[in-house]
Amino acid sequence: MRNPLQEQLLKAGLVKKNQVAKVVREQAAQRKGTKPAPPSAEQLDVQKLQVERAERDRALAAERNAQVRVNEVHAQIRQIVDMHKVKREGDVTYRFTDGDRIKDVLVNEALRTQLADGTLVIARHGEGYELLPRVAADKVYERDAAMIVLDHGHRGTSDIGESADDEYYRQFQVPDDLIW
């Protein structure tokens, strides 16, 4: 079933038979290629499953990466605490709260005053607690502030309440001649 124009060109000798056949094949291929078959229900299900699997894999990979980052941070904190911990010695019990429990560590008077001044802090380390100098505590704060249990030198959210109280009591004037 050739085109009448193709027949005329063949009779006139302007084209050869194999050239006409080649053109016919190309035209047939173009017609078949322009109308892709609609995907079947099975193919749609397979594609949907592949998309869901890819999303689930991405979510699992993100979760694993987040866990790896958390583990890296905790390893850095352990290393900082191991390198900078202050040797605890003494027989004075220093009590502090960790969450809703009261804990204690044995220190001497010098360490006790440093803890009270805020030059030393108490950090969670494994199952116990360690004393850290201010520089190391700041490094731990950057990574995870929850690892610091006691820090009298760090200004946290408790200052907000104190400043509100200070503003309230400023309205009451204290006489200049009052001596305590």
User: What is the pLDDT at residue 152?
Assistant: 82
User: What is the pLDDT at residue 31?
Assistant: 77
Closest CA to 131 of 109, 101, 106: 106
User: What is the pLDDT at residue 34?
Assistant: 57
pTM over 0.85? The answer is no
User: What is the pLDDT at residue 162?
Assistant: 63
Instruction: Decide: 163 and 97 in contact? Cβ < 8 Å.
Output: no
Instruction: Decide: 122 and 129 in contact? Cβ < 8 Å.
Output: yes
Angle at 173 between CA 168 and CA 177, to 5 degrees: 145
Q: Which residues of the chain have pLDDT under 70?
A: 1-2, 34-37, 154-162, 175-180
Closest CA to 139 of 62, 68, 85, 103: 85
Closest CA to 151 of 98, 115, 103: 115
What are the tokens at 19?
A: 């050239």
User: What is the pLDDT at residue 179?
Assistant: 56
Q: How far apart are CA 148 and CA 123, in angstroms?
A: 4
User: What is the pLDDT at residue 159?
Assistant: 46
